[in-house]
Structure formats: C-alpha cells, structure tokens
Amino acid sequence: RHGVRELDLIFQSGTFETRHFTDLEFAVFTCKTLLTLRLFNLPSLVLTIPTHSCLPNLKGLHLTFLKFSDDESIRRLLSSCNSLEELLVQSCELSNLNKLSVCHPTFKRLTISGGYIAPSCEVEINIPNLVFFDFGCVYCTETRLSLRNLNSLSEACTYIGFIAMSSNYCNDTNSVFDVMRALSCVQSFHLTGICSEIQAMLMRPSLIPEFPNLTFLKMGTCNAGWENMFVRCPCLETLASELERTPKKYPSCLRHHIKAIKIFALKRKDVEFQLVEYLLKKAGV
C-alpha cells in the first residue's frame, strides 16, 4: 500500500510470539512492491506460507534461522516469486522436509548453507540461468542430491563432505563425482571440506571430471592427489590453497597458464617450504 521496496524482519529470542508473525504473514507475502525481503533469527518459529502469497516483483529473498512447516510451504513461497533472482537460505532447519526443490528460471544466485539436511530428504537444484551457487550444508550419503542444468554457472562455492548416519556408511565417491560434474562448467571454484570422499576421488584421476573453463581454484587442506585435479583444469590461472605435499609429477597448467599462486594457513613445516620451492621452480608465474 505504501510502496515498500525493501523489508528486513529481525527477531530476538524470547521477545516474539508465533501468533504475532501469523498476523503479519498475509501482508508480508502479498506485498506487490517488495524488491528485497530478509527474514532473520526467528527461534523456534515454524514458517507457514499463506495459500494466496504473491510477491511478483521480489528480486532478493534471504531466509536465516527459519524452519518451514512442510514441503508445500517452501514450494508455495518460491512459486509466488516470479521475478526472483537471488535466494539465500542460511542456517535454516531443513530436517523436516522430504524434498527441497529449487527449479526457477529467473534465479541467478543461490546460496544454501549452514543447515542440516535429513537422510530422507531429496534436494533438487535445476536452474538453467544460475551464475552463482554456494552450497555448504551438512548432509548424509543417504541424502538424494540432484544438480541439473547448471550450464550457465560461472562461480561455485561448495562444501563437499558427508556425515555418517547409519552403520553401513561408507565413502561415497560416486556422490562426490556427481556434484563435481554438475559444477564442471564454472570459471571460479571454491572447494572446501576436503574430506575422505573427495580425497579418495583425487587419488583416482579417472573419477575427476574435466573443468575446461576454470581459471580460479581455491581448495581447502589437501594432503595428496591435488595435482590430479590440476590436470583436469587446463586453463587454470590462479590457485589458492592449503596444499601440504609436493607432487611426484607436475601438471602442464602450472607451466603454461598459471599466473598467481596463493598458499594460506602455513604452519612453517619443512614440507610446506619444499612445496613452495617446487612451485617457484616449476610454475611459469
């Protein structure tokens, strides 16, 4: 009614009752002038989206520390935002969802981080025009994760790692491969959470997909096999990493394309200085 374009709702624990937000729900989720909506820190609040929600001009939606009532509620919210370009879901309670489906043609930036995804949950990301993707949730090998139609992606930040939820848990290199393959078109890649699954993949070069467009790579701690990743990145120009071991063979990209190398979190170990000496000798920086 008053032409509000940007709205932040920030609540503190112990000062808010669910019934108060229920009174606001219809007004908030049917505002036709909103361009940016941020909902932050709603402890113990289960968010239910009104049936007739409509946010036709919303461009940015940030959800932090929220819990959705069910699958239909989050589906209803996303489907009511026909112009949405940026979605941030941070530290939200997703354990009660059976399926989290983000399939929106207008999305350009998507962040899902800091939450826990239940083993029974299915996560589907299908966004053909997405250019930035940040995925950093804790999930299990039993979780069904589907990343499709991400061919427009230019930058990705992802935590790849699992937690064991059952006695039959084992390293799942196939799941890691599927994630890496879905992101293989990126130009900039931040890969953190170098756990046993991805370490196992790095030690088997045939499992690493080709990254033909990658020019910037940032990796977390990697004890071995990192040179196999570089072989799959023929156009790599900038490397930032916590590498700890000198490889037995060096990738050609270090000599022909690399322009900058950044090594962080040094612990002043002899092996680290040997690695620095190796890179200075081999790389055409």
Please check whether residue 120 lies inside any domain of the structure.
no
| pLDDT tens column, 146-178 | 888 999 999 999 876 544 333 333 344 456 778
Please check whether residue 32 lies inside any domain of the structure.
yes
Query: Burial letters for 229-265: b for 16+ Cβ neighbours within 10 Å, e otherwise?
Result: bbbbbbebebbebbbbbbbeebbebbeebbeebeeee
Please check whether residue 252 lies inside any domain of the structure.
no
Domain that holds residue 34: 1-92
Please check whether residue 60 lies inside any domain of the structure.
yes
The domain tally of the chain equals 1
Weakest mean pLDDT among 61-65, 195-199, 202-206: 195-199
pLDDT averaged over the chain? 78
Q: What is the pLDDT of residue 164?
A: 39
Give, in order, the Cα–Cα distances in Å from 257 to each of 132, 153, 176, 278.
24, 22, 27, 17
| pLDDT tens column, 19-76 | 555 556 678 888 899 999 998 876 556 777 888 889 999 999 999 888 887 888 888 8
Please check whether residue 144 lies inside any domain of the structure.
no
Please check whether residue 62 lies inside any domain of the structure.
yes
To which residue do tokens 């790599």 refer? 236
Please check whether residue 122 lies inside any domain of the structure.
no
Please check whether residue 3 lies inside any domain of the structure.
yes
